[in-house]
Every structure is written in structure tokens, then in C-alpha cells.
A and B are shown apart, each in its own frame.
Chain A
Amino acid sequence: MKKLKPGKDNKEERENFVQFWAEFVKTHSDEEWSRQQNIVIDSQITKTLD
């Protein structure tokens, strides 16, 4: 996997990261990327809501 290229400004930095993460999703198992993604999503919503 290619290294993350720092952006010249905030917009480019964000877009580079979005692409970097998307490449990770593309090249890794669903279990692996979703485990990491759920840390972000589940910090917002508790299990009691489902």
C-alpha cells in the first residue's frame, strides 16, 4: 500500500486521506476495515439504540 502523501492545504490533506482510507478498504478484508470504522461510528451511537 502506498504511503499517505501530506496535502498542501486542508482540502488536499482531507482528500488524500479519504483516498488513502478508501485504498485500505479496497485492499483489506471487510472484517478488518469495518472493525476500525466502527470505532468512529459507534462513538456516536450506543448499542441500546439499535
Chain B
Amino acid sequence: MEYDKEKKQIIIKRELSNLDRLVLNFLNILCKHAEYVIVSGYVSILLGRARATEDVDIFIERIAGERFFKLYEELKSAGFWCLNAEQPEEVFNYLKEGMAVRFARQNNIIPNFEIRFPRKKIDDETFKDTLTVILPWGKLRISSLERQIAFKRYYLKSNKDIEDALHIETIFKEQMDYEKIKSIKKELDAV
């Protein structure tokens, strides 16, 4: 795994898991319609954490209904379904109200993609603080390592999240910006 802090990129020459392939398929559609950032559990898994997950958490930029309906249609044509509602207008309303909606492969519930619009200032900031992960068969955009650690250790705080943060920190400790983690923690304390 090669982390280039200046270029804000990580190159991973990993064997892709079936989950990675599913994620890349979903993102190939999503990225045509909206800016996105992957946050939380799948990021740790992508970086080597040995655990499974039920969902992949993704922020997408606030887009208008028209653009969302195109995204919805393409996801549906590609064999995904929305767990929350059948009508795209209803799904979009959930997003507009600040709620998350989930998409999975037809006839499946897990794993699924939990997508939401940013709600708070700290969510918006996630889009300005990202890394590109380059895999053998595609690229994806994740939130920064420091942001991952701060959220998991000081905001989410479950055992699983604390272990995810420990995993990322152990791998990248020489390159970690601990002042940045402290500063994000302060923002999280104020939320």
C-alpha cells in the first residue's frame, strides 16, 4: 500500500474482493451523476481491516431531483433496488429531508449502499478533505485518514469503530497528522 500524502492518493495492489467489485460497479454509475465520498467502515476494510460489513456509507453532493431521477433509473437498470421506497420521488424526498436511503442488488438486502446528502457543515467539509484510492480495476474517493480516525474514535465510538480507527492509525502512524485529528475532534465536540 503506497500512501502519497502530497498527491492525496493511496495505491493498493490488492486482490479485489467481491465487495470491492460490487462497490466499483455501484460507483461507476454514481460518479456519472454526483460527486461522492465514501466514509466509515468500508474505508477501513479497503485499507485492510479484516471484517465484513452490512453497508457502505456514502455522502453524495446535494443534487436536484432531475439528476437524482436519472441516477435512480440507471441504478435500477443495472440491477440495484432501493430498500426504502419504490417511487424515485419518494426516495428523493427522504434525501432532501436529511435521511439516508439504501440500495442493494436485486433480491438482496446486504450488503447495501447507504447514501445521504451532507446535512451539517462538518459533512460538507468531508468533500474538501478526501483521498483517491487507486485499485487494480478502478479508483474511488474516500474521506481523509485523519477524518476517519476522528469520526470513529470520538463521534461513533462503538467497539467496531474504535478498532477501525486503531487499524488505520497503526498502518499509517508515521504519516498521520495528529494535529488535524485534534482539530476535527474539536469540531465534532461542538456538533
Contacts and interface: CB of A to CB of B under 8 A. Distances in A.
Interface of A: 11, 14-15, 18-19, 21-23, 25-26, 29-31, 33-38, 40-47, 49-50
The size class of the interface chain B forms with chain A is 20 to 34
Contacts of A41: 17-19, 45, 52
Contacts of B17: 34, 37-38, 41-42, 45
A45 B19 contact: yes
A8 to B, nearest CB: 16
Contacts, number: 94
A15 B176 CA distance: 19
B15 A31 contact: yes
Given A15-B166, A18-B166, A22-B167, A35 B19 contact: no
B170 A19 contact: yes
Contacts of B124: none
B14 A34 contact: yes
Interface of B: 1, 12-19, 21-22, 25, 45, 47-52, 105, 108, 110-111, 159, 162-163, 166-167, 170-171
A23 B170 contact: yes
Nearest to B107: A49
B48 A34 contact: yes
A45 B21 CA distance: 11
A33 B13 contact: no
Nearest to B22: A50
A49 B18 contact: yes
